[in-house]
Amino acid sequence: MKLAIVLLAWGLACPIASGAQSPAGQYLVWTMHHPQGVSSLAFSPDGKLLVAAYGDDGAGGMALWNLVSRKLVWRIEKRYGFTQVAFLGDGSRILSLDDSDTPRTLRIWDVKTHGVLKSAPNPKHLTIICFAIAPNGGSVALGTGDVERQQPPQIIIWDMKTGAYRLITTFENADSVTSLSFSPDGGVVAGGGGDWDGDTSQIKIRDLTARRTMADLFPVSEGAPVQVAFAPMGRLLAVAGDFIGLLDTIGKRKYRLPLQSDAHAVAFSPLGEYLASDDLDKNNHALIKLWLVKTRHLVTTIKTNSDAQINALSISPHGRLLAAASQDGSVRLWRLTPAGEESSAIQSSGR
């Protein structure tokens, strides 16, 4: 089915006149002026809420949006900001990673009260860079880093019930683990890493059942630190760095998709038919590319008309919305609809 993409944008905003139409035919609904870039975002399991983490220069926060009413539900601002957020379980809780000095802290928040329910212990004072929640919701994979390079980056599993930590694997050619993803069955965890200078990147894939690290199916390469994402079904892994790669971790087949620049984010549609990734055009404006996974053909390219780097992408659970978090502080939503289907347009910015 051919898809048309209608631009929606969402800002961390104060409301202005609803229905004000821009020259391009889009409807400006919310805008918020703040200097912090958005590093992470996530849809709730029912697709009705979106949480975004933002921060820079020692300040930032976390905002929860209601996508039905198009209103800000709550916002928490901290002096340290947040680097990553995700919904837990049924969507009644949010897991966050703060951007404070070592040790960084994982916190579980109540969506309704926006109060802290639990803070994860960090007895070894790990510098946590990223996390991924296991499909069963009972454990979290943590990726570490060390700016002083005194110890190699690690992937660690945190048992949320017992509080126990278990070392899974280490990186030999990176300064930090920049991204983590679980396979849908929870049996495999993949990690992407890189050094602080952006000179090398590395991928580790660990079979948790067999307790072995799979061979380097994508070897160490030069370029941007790697982002990874498993497809919602099977063992297909998407890799973003100085290339976009698709890796069948069972059949060991791998494919590369053409890019003009380094990629910083990838996201699958709910059934895994499509893959979204970022890129740049010849004017260094950010693009979003939508690929048909089965054929690896480019379906469409979305122009953001902004030179702000895209830090994260996500497709809603119902598959109708594509969200992009940018370094300029904006979160934009695009509606993915069948060609010819009428839909509304919303825009905001976050400067």
* Nearest partner of 167 among 183, 178, 151, judged by Cα: 151
Look-up of token digits 């109708």: 320
Distance CA(281)–CA(250), nearest Å, equals 34
CB contact burial 93-106 (16+ within 10 A = b; e otherwise): bbbbbbbbeebbbb
Residue type, 65: W
Distance CA(202)–CA(211), nearest Å, equals 19
For the four alpha carbons of 244, 248, 251 and 252, in that order, the dihedral sign comes to positive
The three-class DSSP label of residue 299 is strand
- ∠ CA 280-324-243, nearest 5°, is 40
* Nearest partner of 276 among 302, 295, 251, judged by Cα: 302
- Please give the C-alpha separations between residue 329 and each of 12, 13, 41, 62, 171, in angstroms, as whole numbers: 8, 11, 12, 12, 31
CA end-to-end distance (rounded Å), the chain: 37
Six token digits for residue 188: 């495999």
Q: How many residues does the chain have?
A: 351
Sheet of strand 236-240, all strands in order from the earlier edge strand to the far edge: 227-230, 236-240, 244-248, 254-257
Q: Residue 293's CB: how many other CB atoms inside 10 A?
A: 18
- β-bridge partners, 276: 267, 290
Domain ranges of the chain: 34-341
- β-bridge partners, 87: 94
Give the CA dihedral 9, 281, 54, 20, nearest 10 degrees: -20
Strands 212-213 and 201-207 come out as antiparallel
Chain-centroid distance, C-alpha 189: 16
Contacts of 70 (CB under 8 A, 6+ apart): 29, 30, 346
* Nearest partner of 139 among 73, 204, 208, 39, judged by Cα: 208
Burial of 36 (0-12, 13-18, 19+ CB in 10 A): buried
Look-up of token digits 């709730």: 44
- Kindly report the pTM of this predicted structure: 0.85
CATH 2.130.10.10 assigned to domain 34-341? The reply is yes
Along the 351 residues of the chain, how does pLDDT read in single tens digits? 445 444 444 333 332 222 333 222 222 234 333 447 899 999 999 999 999 998 876 678 999 999 888 888 999 988 778 899 999 999 999 999 987 765 788 999 999 999 999 988 776 778 899 999 999 999 999 999 876 667 788 999 999 888 888 999 988 777 889 999 999 999 999 998 877 665 677 888 999 988 888 766 565 555 566 899 999 998 899 998 878 889 888 767 888 888 888 888 999 999 999 999 999 988 899 999 999 999 999 988 888 888 889 999 999 998 888 899 999 889 988 887 644 343 333 233 333
